Structure 1
Amino acid sequence: MPAALQFSLLGLLVGLAAGAATGPLAEDHPVLPTWKCTTSGGCVQQNTSIVLDRDSKLAKGAAGSRSAADYTAMGVTTSGNALTLQHYVNGQAASPRVYLLDSTTNKYVMMTLQDNQELSVDVDLSSLPCGENGAFYLSEMAADGSGGAGSGTGYCDAQCPSSQCCNEMDILEANSMATAMTPHPCKGSNCDKSGCGYNPYASGQRNYWGPGKTVDTSKVFTVVTQFAASGGKLTQITRKYIQNGKEIGGGGTISNCGAEGGSGGLTGMGQALGRGMVLAMSIWNDPAQQMAWLDAGSNGPCASGQGSPSQIQSQHSDTHVVFSNIRWGDIGSTTKS
């Protein structure tokens, strides 16, 4: 074989090997049924599954092919319509983040929620102590994950990780002691990183959220987030809860989110919701601030030091969150029996 041809073939083989290491990962996606609803037609089950964030997998050294068993090792399991995210697995932090995937197209599900739509989910965060965050939120990622949705690529949010900025709607950031709902609109790379959130405790409702309180976080409950629009523009985001068959009001309303000329304001957030956003779910803690911005000081009842990751791991090693029965569609359509 001529030397030039040998060199060419060797280069091709090296390229293929590199592509196998850096290209999309082949994996089995755990099935997670969800429902899309209308007031006229009820709720229709969707062919959906979940995919682990690619960067999280690579950070754990999980290159190559994947399987459902690997998801378990990363703290992710599904059962029926329920997704469980476990922070620690075998004494090691997994802290998984997953996205909702259309199993038919192998692209992310794009939820369009601006025009009088709502998103509901049943939540069990009874095992989340101070310092933990069970997050259920929307990110304006590309439907194809910028080329690899099937392996969890393309993440972006309003904090601009790796300079990837995009609109972010934090539907629920919570533990058993505190919660917040926060739009983070972006106009280009100008993002409202702090957001314009609603936290019941910070708003003076000190007995609203927690074990045995108005929203009893020791038990499962339904979180309903409604996006009201007028004249094609998002005008209000409203939160309510359902527990033990009863609707609980007072969950908060957001009708302003900064100037449109800056990061886009509530109008810009609505435009992103109209274009379609990807559902992300994660569990994490915060070594830098110990989640004080969510649950300590004026934001919640947690004391200094309670949110330390080392304390959480030693005292709450089984901390996890369960998201189930995910439904989206016309306002009033997702929680009908």
Structure 2
Amino acid sequence: MFFKSSFTSLAVSLLASIQVVHASEAYPSLPTWKCTKSGGCIQQNTTVVLDQVAPNAIGTAGSRTAADYAAMGVSTSGNALTMYQYMTVNGKVTSASPRVYLLGADGKYVEMGLLNQELSVDVDLSALPCGENGAFYLSSMAADGGATGGAAAGKGYCDAQCQGYCCNEMDILEANSMATAMTPHPCIGNTCDSSGCGFNPYASGQHSFWGPGSTVDTNKVFTVTTQFAASGGQLSQISRKYVQNGRQISSGTISSCGSTSSTGGLTGMGQALGSGMVLAMSIWNDPTQQMAWLDAGSNGPCASGQGSPSNIQSQHPTTHVIFSNIRWGDIGSTTT
């Protein structure tokens, strides 16, 4: 993953200088499930919180008294989270590019311990064209957000591109209706594998695997399950499967990841997963690279120019992604 949002520098500078007040913020409910093979899946009282630099989270008095989730294109219904790229605010179309984190009932980010575990989510990418990225990923953020106001105000973001600060990142799913990638980004201190060692079906030669009417039909909802198998207490393999229309579809695996000595490799990624990582979800597009690293050239079928934000806004103004039915736990327990 390269650039995850297009939040304005104005919003960043304003939020850096204000005192965040979050007592009145109403977090959208998003129940999730923690599963075991012996006890089944138990519902968790979880919500989502907007990232602190969301432009429309700034209150009229210059403080985040109550983030406007609707204006930022974020809504929940039951166990489903919907995020829109573009919103009309005060008669003006803006690129919302929302990013949210999973928040626990204790006011801290949920830290998922996923070594020798699996994570599943139902996904609807049908409204995401070339150039869009519906991202579902993990970050080694501090559970309390690492600052005053912390997680309750959406603080503390970090990733392997060192946005915020440098930390381990596991891109479970970066995708639109035309292409997808799964990418570990391990780090040792401030040295991160920013490019990662991802798996993209199209780039591996599977040109009819992903897309409208393809093996994984992105016109329809499907389940994404990612398994983090361990051997001897260390991560040995990351594997992916899909379930659609009652049919299980196996996909790629990752069994090595760069230099263990410089960035930690697959072993380091496993250590981060074992310590617990925070779930982030976002939608964004990319004026610089137009998401070509994900869906164009050798990475996907999208043509040059298709992924430009101006083209997306004019041709697909209601583009959005839906993540639902999030569950994690023992391998084999989340899709039963």
When the two structures are superposed, what TM-score results if normalisation uses the length of structure 1? 0.90
1:35-87 residue CA offsets vs partner (Å, 9 max, x unmatched): 0000000000001000000012478677434447x101110000000000000
Equivalent position amino acid for 1:246 in 2? R
Q: Given that residues 28 and 66 in structure 1 are in contact (C-alpha distance below 8 angstroms), is that contact kept between their aligned partners in structure 2?
A: no
Could you tell me which residue of structure 2 aligns to residue 8 of structure 1? none
Deviates more, 1:22-31 or 1:318-327: 22-31
CA gap 1:120/1:268 in 2 versus in 1, 3 angstroms: same
What is the count of residue pairs matched by the alignment?
A: 314
Could you tell me which residue of structure 2 aligns to residue 110 of structure 1? 111
Equivalent position amino acid for 1:74 in 2? M
Question: What is the correspondence of 1:149-228 to structure 2 with a 5 Å cutoff?
Answer: 149-162=151-164, 164-228=165-229
Q: Given that residues 145 and 155 in structure 2 are in contact (C-alpha distance below 8 angstroms), is that contact kept between their aligned partners in structure 1?
A: yes
Q: Given that residues 57 and 64 in structure 2 are in contact (C-alpha distance below 8 angstroms), is that contact kept between their aligned partners in structure 1?
A: no
Q: Say whether 1:305 aligns with 2:305.
A: yes
Equivalent position amino acid for 1:22 in 2? Q
CA gap 1:205/1:60 in 2 versus in 1, 3 angstroms: farther
Equivalent position amino acid for 1:272 in 2? A
Cα RMSD of the aligned pairs, angstroms, is: 1.7
CA gap 1:298/1:60 in 2 versus in 1, 3 angstroms: farther
1:2-23 residue CA offsets vs partner (Å, 9 max, x unmatched): xxxxxxxxxxxxxxxx999323
Could you tell me which residue of structure 2 aligns to residue 21 of structure 1? 18
In the TM superposition, residue 233 of structure 1 has moved relative to its aligned partner by 0.1
In the TM superposition, residue 259 of structure 1 has moved relative to its aligned partner by 1.6
Q: Given that residues 223 and 243 in structure 2 are in contact (C-alpha distance below 8 angstroms), is that contact kept between their aligned partners in structure 1?
A: yes
Bigger radius of gyration among the two: 1
Equivalent-residue separation in structure 2 for 1:34 and 1:331 (angstroms): 17
Equivalent-residue separation in structure 1 for 2:57 and 2:287 (angstroms): 18
CA gap 1:174/1:19 in 2 versus in 1, 3 angstroms: closer
Question: What is the correspondence of 1:55-204 to structure 2 with a 5 Å cutoff?
Answer: 55-57=53-55, 63-67=62-66, 70-90=68-88, 91-103=93-105, 105-114=106-115, 116-147=116-147, 148-162=150-164, 164-204=165-205
Equivalent-residue separation in structure 2 for 1:143 and 1:77 (angstroms): 23
In the TM superposition, residue 25 of structure 1 has moved relative to its aligned partner by 2.9
When the two structures are superposed, what TM-score results if normalisation uses the length of structure 2? 0.91
More helix, by proportion: 1
Aligned-residue identity in percent:
73
Q: Given that residues 110 and 279 in structure 2 are in contact (C-alpha distance below 8 angstroms), is that contact kept between their aligned partners in structure 1?
A: yes
Equivalent-residue separation in structure 2 for 1:308 and 1:128 (angstroms): 13
Q: Given that residues 59 and 66 in structure 2 are in contact (C-alpha distance below 8 angstroms), is that contact kept between their aligned partners in structure 1?
A: no
Equivalent-residue separation in structure 2 for 1:225 and 1:20 (angstroms): 40
CA gap 1:316/1:24 in 2 versus in 1, 3 angstroms: same
SS in structure 2 of the partner of residue 281 of structure 1? strand
